[in-house]
Amino acid sequence: MNCKKCNEQLSLYLDQELSPAEKVQIDQHLESCEACRKEYNELKTVREMLKELPMKELPEGFEAELHEKLVQAKEEVQEQPQKENMVVHLKDHFRRNVKRYSIAAAACLVLVVSYESLGPLGMITSKNATMEMAVEYDDSGMTQAAPRLTLESSSDEAFSDSVDTFNLKVGTADVDGAAPMESEEALPEVFAGGMAEEPAQEVPSVAVTAQNAVPETHRKIIQTGYLSIDIEDYDATLENIIDMTQKMGGYVEDMSTQFQYGYRTENPLKMGHVTIRVPQVQFQGVMRSLDEYGQITDQNMSAEDITYQYRDISNEVANLEVREAKLREIMEKAEEIKDVLQVEQELSRVRGQINSLKGTLIQWDQLVSLSRITINLYEVESLEVKIEPIDNSLLTRIKEAFIRSINNLKYSLENLTLILIALLPFVIVYSIVGFIGWRILRRIIRWVKNRRK
Amino acid sequence: MTDTEKIWLKKSQEGDIESFEKLIAKHQRNVYNIAYRMMGNEEDAKDAAQEALIKIYKSIGKFRGDSGFSTWVYRIAMNACKDELRKKKHNVISLDKEMETEDGTLKHELPDQGLKPDELVEQAELSETIQDAIGKLPEQNRMVIILRDIQGFSYEDISDVMEVPVGTVKSRISRGRKLLKDVLKQHPKWSYEITV
């Protein structure tokens, strides 16, 4: 152990980070070397001085200031929230699945290419699929699901458990927009009945339907609907829907139409979508009446209850307005310019907040008063499924496809020949140059070999 | 991390400020102290510490728990201090360089504070001296010395916070202490300290 090595390890020795063997070596060296001992003591002093430095208390108002900054930061973050997250999320997702996506893309490419070359042949399958979907569809499953409270219990012990569950469910229903009053009243009756009839046996399953209880006027519910319909006459249906919407006092928000499978001359089929906004009261009626136009293949409805958020914001607006009034009072009393300016600043801040909150309320009111329904329309040749005769269509199609393939083969051979001939001048020139070069090279090699010999 | 802290963490990630404040309650004094030692004065320390905590709040959604929460907090705190120091660098006036004016050269001079007999004052002065000495260390050595000798982190923790290998931490600490010793040795009080 020399002084240099010891010097390097002193710091670790101080922190007891050395292995026992290394430690013994340093111990021995320190005993014999005074310079290193001095160095060690000095380092130790430095470390102790640092250790004894007092921990500082947080300055006064640190937490309050931080809180304010956090609130500010939260607002900043919320201004551009999900969008960014969404992009990041998508990016992550994409990065993770690049391989899968590239395979899918390749598959799509292959499909498109084969579709292009096969033409109408490939279409048969997709059209049949649409038909099947229309047939398998069952109307009964698509009616609107009513919010339900279900209570099921198989034994006495489980009964008390299910009481908890039941209460819980009532709470949920409350939020969901059903009437809490009525379901609570119904509760004891249900229980009493179940207990009295079969106390030791199974409690029959009881369903309490808490719907149609209170008129929903004071509730703020944003309703949206989504439908897919197969229809026979696209243009007439679209016209009807638009007519109906306008008569109800609604409007068309968005609309687009295109041809299925691209345009073709013999009976072209259209598809498209239209988004309409209809008054809230008409929502259910419209959803039901759309059934008349054709076969519904897909139907979704959703309702978002924003009553509580709405109430919160309304309250906040009310509070802010009180504050505004107070500020105005202060403003009148204020005499010094400095005070006036300060109050004015605060006033404009409050005013700004009120405006933005009111804007939200108005937007919500619109969303609530006019429900949005998105309708996808698919034109089909006939809503009834019919079996197409196989002989004519299939055989001609096979023939057509075969001829097309032959033609394609012919074209590609032609192109190949064309390319070969076009390249001919290059081939000739390069082969002459290559030939001469090769001869020269060979001669040089032979000459070199001869000289060596 | 305890279960309560996990709940706070989850709520913080959803943007809840109160939970976040609870979550960092036990760290913020450490963060402030680290910042104080890094920056050298209370005002800058407060700014840097708050900047760090805001950054932590903003990026807490990205915290995946693959490293310890405290390590992650101190890493952000360190980086925030580095940023603040970099920002400040442009505003620092050098004491060594002479300012040239039309009337000749001007030299910056600090008032001589002298020594005061009162022991309490002496105590305060010593910590000021040490603080000055820490401020003179290169940034990398300053960081490890603060974490190791003032905050008492282990070598592994420091390696995690700084994202450098343990070997590097060892050599930086060793070098930092030596530099610090050399600076402190020049102080008149040094001999006094040694004997005590």
Q: Are strands A251-259 and A203-209 parallel, antiparallel or unpaired?
A: unpaired
Alpha-carbon span B61 to B74, nearest angstrom: 17
**Residues of chain B positioned with their CB less than 8 A from the CB of A46:** 177, 180-181, 184
Nearest to B17 among A50, A56, A67 (CB): A67
A188 in contact with chain B, both atoms CB, cutoff 8 A: no
Closest chain B CA to residue A66: B50
- Cβ within 8 Å of A, B 130-169: 130-131, 145, 148-150, 152, 155
Residue A59 forms contact with B (CB below 8 Å)? yes
Per-residue model confidence as pLDDT tens digits over A218-229: 788 888 898 888
Residue A220, pLDDT score: 84
Which residues from A are below 8 Å from B145, CB to CB?
50
Q: Which residue of A has its CA nearest to B14?
A: A74
Residue A40: closest C-alpha in chain B: B178
Rounded-to-5 percentages of helix, strand, coil across chain A: 70, 15, 15
Average pLDDT of every residue of chain B: 79
What are the angstrom distances between the C-alpha of A447 and each of A287, A436, A440? 96, 17, 10
3-state secondary structure of A120: helix
What residues of A are in contact with residue B148 (Cβ under 8 Å)?
15
Q: Phi, psi at residue A9, to the nearest 5°?
A: -95, -5
- Using the Cβ of A167 and the Cβ atoms of chain B, whether some distance falls under 8 Å is answered with no
Pairing state between β B99-101 and B104-106? antiparallel
Range of weakest confidence among A206-220, A394-408, B27-41: A206-220
Nearest to A59 among B46, B155, B177 (CB): B46
| Pairwise CB contact (< 8 Å): B155 & A8 | no
Q: Which of B45, B50, B180 is nearest residue A46 as measured by Cβ atoms?
A: B180
Q: Supply the pLDDT for residue A302.
A: 86
Q: Label residue B47 exposed, middle or buried (CB < 10 Å: 0-12, 13-18, 19+).
A: middle
Q: How far is B33 from chain A (nearest CA, A)?
A: 6
Please indicate, yes or no, whether the overall pTM of this predicted structure exceeds 0.80.
Answer: no
A49, A68, A77, A84, best to mutate vs chain B, most B CBs in 10 Å: A49
A-B Cβ pairs (cutoff 8 Å, strict)? 98
- Short-list A50, A40, A39, CA closest to A14: A40
> What burial class does residue A395 get, using C-beta atoms within 10 Å of its C-beta: 0-12 exposed, 13-18 middle, 19+ buried?
exposed
Query: What's the pLDDT score for residue B108?
Result: 55
Which ranges of B14-154 would DSSP assign to H, the alpha helix?
17-39, 42-59, 69-89, 119-136, 139-145
Euclidean distance between CA atoms A109 and A32, whole angstroms? 81
CB contact under 8 A, B54 and A77: no
CA angle at residue A398 from A395 to A400, to 5 degrees? 110
CA–CA dist A249, A251 (Å, integer): 7
| Rounded CA separation B63/B13 (Å) | 8
Identify the band that residue B66 occupies on the pLDDT scale cut at 50, 70 and 90: low
Question: Is the confidence at residue A141, as pLDDT, over 50?
Answer: no
Q: In the structure, how many helices (H) and strands (E) does chain A have?
A: 14, 7
- Predicted local confidence at residue A5, as pLDDT: 83
Beta strands in A56-164 (DSSP E): 148-153
Mean pLDDT, range B121-137, rounded to an integer: 76
Range with the largest mean pLDDT of A33-42, A261-270, A408-417, B153-162: A408-417
Write out chain A residues lying below 8 Å of B173, CB-based.
11, 15
Interface check for A17 against chain B (CB to CB < 8 A): the answer is yes
Query: Which one has a higher pLDDT value, A264 or A146?
Result: A264
